[in-house]
Amino acid sequence: MQSFEPLTSRVQTGWSTVLARAAGAVLLFETVSGLSITFGPFRPAIEWGLLLHTLMGLMAIAPLAFYFARHWKDYFGQALSDVLVLGYVGLSALIICVT
């Protein structure tokens, strides 16, 4: 027989939490600003974007690490699925970008 986790443990790390939405927003901003810095023309707006990108990235490291640690704890014991593999790939990519 398969045992199911209570719904309350899942709600802590689902997309409905404020921390999850904030993490998604920060990662979206970092992606868009990083691409504009990399491929955009060298102008004052891009230079200010670089400073904002760096500050936002530094401030987001601790909350993102907390979110991913809590998320990992909730989903680690589940059977391997395509969604789980995609999460592991995304976390690996983020670790590579941070280091």
Per residue of the chain (99 residues), give pLDDT as tens: 555 555 455 545 566 678 778 888 988 999 999 999 999 888 998 899 999 999 998 898 888 888 888 877 888 888 888 878 888 888 888 788 777
Domain, as residue range, for 89: 14-98
Has residue 82 been placed in a domain?
Answer: yes
Cα(60)–Cα(23) distance, integer angstroms: 8
What is the value of pTM for the model shown? 0.64
Tell me whether residue 46 is in a domain: yes
Residue 18 in domain: yes
* CA dihedral over 89, 6, 12, 68, signed as positive or negative: negative
**Total domain count, the chain:** 1
Full 3-state SS string of 58-87: HHHHHHHHHHHHHHHHHHCCCCCCHHHHHH
User: Is residue 65 a part of any domain in this protein?
Assistant: yes
Tell me, yes or no, whether 63 lies in a domain. Answer: yes
CB 59 within 8 A of CB 23: no
Rounded distance between C-alpha atoms, residue 90 and residue 64, angstroms = 13
Helices then strands, counting H and E runs in the chain, come out as 4, 0
6 within some domain: no
